[in-house]
Amino acid sequence: MKSRILVFIQFATIFLMLLPLGGDIKHPYAGIILILVGLLIGLSALHKNRLGNFNIRPDIKEGCMFINDGIYGYIRHPMYTSVLTGMFGVFVAYANIYAAALYLILFINLLVKVFYEESLWRCRDERYQEYAKDTYRLVPYIF
């Protein structure tokens, strides 16, 4: 149930951010560049992760594979990084308090998902402990 609530919050927040309720677009080019970077990160994660192994909920799918190469060799949660980068582009494009508040909600929600998912992986696969020591959660060399 927790996973479903987190996913609902994530998608509801993204949906609200994409609605043009906050006014005019102020920085379209910077926003588009960030959205494209987010898409590239997501595509590189999907390239390694394959759709059958991918789960939108932070729960670990039955029979899923542990992946630690490609982009996963640098960051443990590239799909979350992808969403945060792309939606930061939306925030930058609109640059208003409405987008800032929604982005903060999205950021906190994805952090909760990250820590929840990591707790499940630590219990499931002993390799995860070592993997976590050698990689960053969301941003290489920062976090």
pLDDT digits (tens, 9 = 90+) for 96-135: 999 999 999 999 999 999 999 888 888 877 888 888 888 9
Position 22 scores a pLDDT of 63
Go through the domains of the chain in sequence order and give each one's CATH number. Answer: 2-17+47-134 (1.20.120.1630)
Between 38 and 120, the more confident residue is 38
Position 58 scores a pLDDT of 74
Interval 47-89: pLDDT, tens: 888 666 777 787 776 777 778 888 999 999 999 999 999 999 9
Instruction: Name, in order, each residue with C-beta under 8 angstroms of 50's C-beta and a sequence gap of 6 or more.
Output: none
Its pTM stands at: 0.89
Position 51 scores a pLDDT of 66
Nearest alpha-carbon partner for 33 in 79, 71, 75, 89: 89
Instruction: Name, in order, each residue with C-beta under 8 angstroms of 72's C-beta and a sequence gap of 6 or more.
Output: 45, 48, 49, 78, 135
Tokens 């060399």, located at residue: 141
